[in-house]
Amino acid sequence: MAIYYIDGNTLSNSTSIFTDADLTICAPDGFYSDGINSRQQVGCLLLSPQVCESCLAPCGDSAPILGTTGVYLVDFNVGSSAGAIVLRFNPINIPSGVRVTFDGVVYNAFSSPFDGRHASLGANNLTYLGNTTFDCGISGTTYPALTEYEFTLGAFVATGGTQSITVDAGDVSLTTANPPGECVLVIPKLSSTPTLLEIEIVGPCPGSDWNLVNISCPTELTGFIGTEVQATSVAACAEPQILTYHNVPVNGSPGVPGLYDWIFQDQYAYQIATTGWYGIPGAQKMYVDAGVVTSISPC
């Protein structure tokens, strides 16, 4: 296997590729890849990076991705189907920040099986999940040189660079009585393209230990019947169940909503259910707040 040398820390921030360590002999014109990005070299100059779709981590992979302190970048190929993409992330106890970018939109709202919705107050910021008991004082802290890693060919590889990360107070959303468990984030995919989904995970604390449990391939959600949204639980129990909603299970199961499940008005998870009371099958009522079930009980 040929060995090449670059004049930057990574292929993405380099300008040329060489065949010698002294960077004096230009590599032949052609395409070069680091396992995620590919770039064409023409006349000893690299053209703009292109994502190697076949090199990306596949959606639906059951093997968990583990990390610790640092900044971790993971790119997934979510395929050409339309549907809801479900990410399950377990920060264990020590706080870690997460956000997902898909089709130019940042997604950072999670639901924990223990206490429900967690989200940064900043629409484009990382949401830091974990247990308050294990907080290393991240709120308002700047970490000037966290090592950056890229997930390449099944493993994290240091890029050679670092990132400076500041944790805003509004980004921190920690549980108190329990570890947050497998927190669930949902991304809608409405068409065959795009297929690239980008995840950024930041472990700022020494000893950070997180687990990206799974990211599903896009799948249409299972529906269930419910009432129109109501202002009171009494009204919800009295109304006819004539509309179809869809849930992403957190404590429930497909088509059977449970506490802290995500509730949507469509099978692609594009539109969350309106905040309010709903009558649902089994003579039950549920309250949905910002798309998450916060109460469910018999009528």
- pLDDT band, very low/low/confident/very high, at 71 (cuts 50, 70, 90): very high
**Same structural domain for residues 36 and 150?**
no
Ranges 63-67, 178-182, 221-225, most confident: 221-225
- Cross-strand bridge partners of residue 88: 184, 214
d(CA 287, CA 278): 6
Question: What average pLDDT does the segment 140-149 reach?
Answer: 96
b or e along 243-252 (b: 16 or more beta carbons within 10 Å of the residue's beta carbon)? bebbbbbbbb
Note whether 76 and 12 are same-domain residues: no
**298 pLDDT above the threshold of 90:** yes
Q: Do 197 and 61 lie in a common domain? A: yes
Identify whether residues 138 and 242 lie together within a single domain. no
Where residue 175 falls among pLDDT bands split at 50, 70, 90?
A: very high
Average pLDDT, stretch 141-166?
90
Round the average pLDDT of the chain to a whole number and report it: 93
Token pair 């809801």 is found at: 84
Residues 94 and 28 in one domain: no
Q: Provide mean pLDDT across the span 10-16.
A: 86
Mean pLDDT, residues 3-15 taken together: 87
Query: CB under 8 Å to 104, separation ≥6 — which residues?
Result: none
Single residue among 51, 68, 84 that ends a domain in this structure: 51
**pLDDT tens digits for range 225-283:** 999 999 999 999 999 999 999 999 999 999 999 999 999 999 999 999 999 999 999 99
Which whole-number Å values give the CA distances from 48 to 66, 147, 293, in the listed order?
A: 30, 24, 45
Domain housing 291: 223-298
What is the value of pTM for the model shown? 0.86
Q: Which two tokens stand for residue 8?
A: 């930057």
Q: Is beta strand 127-129 parallel, antiparallel or unpaired with respect to 96-102?
A: antiparallel
Residue 259 CB neighbours (<10 A): 19
Count: domains in the chain: 3
Residues 92, 179 within the same domain = yes
CA atoms within 13 A on the CB side of 124: 2
Mean pLDDT of 67-77: 93
Tell me the H-state helices in 161-270: 233-238
Residues 119 and 193 grouped into a single domain: yes
pLDDT digits (tens, 9 = 90+) for 89-111: 999 999 999 999 999 999 999 99
**Which DSSP category does 235 fall into?**
H
The whole-angstrom separation of Cα 217 and Cα 187 is: 10
CB 58 within 8 A of CB 197: no
Tell which of 215, 250, 280 closes a domain.
215
Return the DSSP state at 26: B
99 and 30 inside one domain? no
- Say how far apart CA 56 and CA 62 lie, in whole Å: 15
Are 98 and 163 in a shared domain?
yes
**pLDDT at res. 261:** 98
pLDDT band per the 50, 70, 90 thresholds, residue 72: very high
What are the DSSP calls for 168-180, one per residue? -GGGB--BSSS--
- Residue 262 vs residue 56, higher pLDDT: 262
* Domain shared by 96 and 156, yes or no: yes
The residue from 187, 215, 243 where one domain ends is 215
Query: What count of other Cβ atoms lies within 10 Å of the Cβ of residue 21?
Result: 9
Spatial separation of the C-alpha atoms in residues 205 and 138, rounded to whole Å: 8
Confidence bin at 177 (pLDDT 50/70/90) = confident
Residues 112 and 169 in one domain: yes
Q: Examine the domain organization and report whether 185 and 76 are in the same domain.
A: yes
Sign of the CA dihedral 43, 44, 48, 52?
positive
13: pLDDT strictly greater than 90: no
Q: Does 114 score more than 90 pLDDT?
A: yes
pLDDT band, residue 2 (cuts 50/70/90): confident
For residue 55, the model assigns a pLDDT of: 67
Report residue 189's pLDDT band, with 50, 70 and 90 as the boundaries. Answer: very high
Query: For 29-51, how does the pLDDT look when each residue is reduced to its tens digit (9 = 90+)?
Result: 887 887 667 788 889 998 877 66
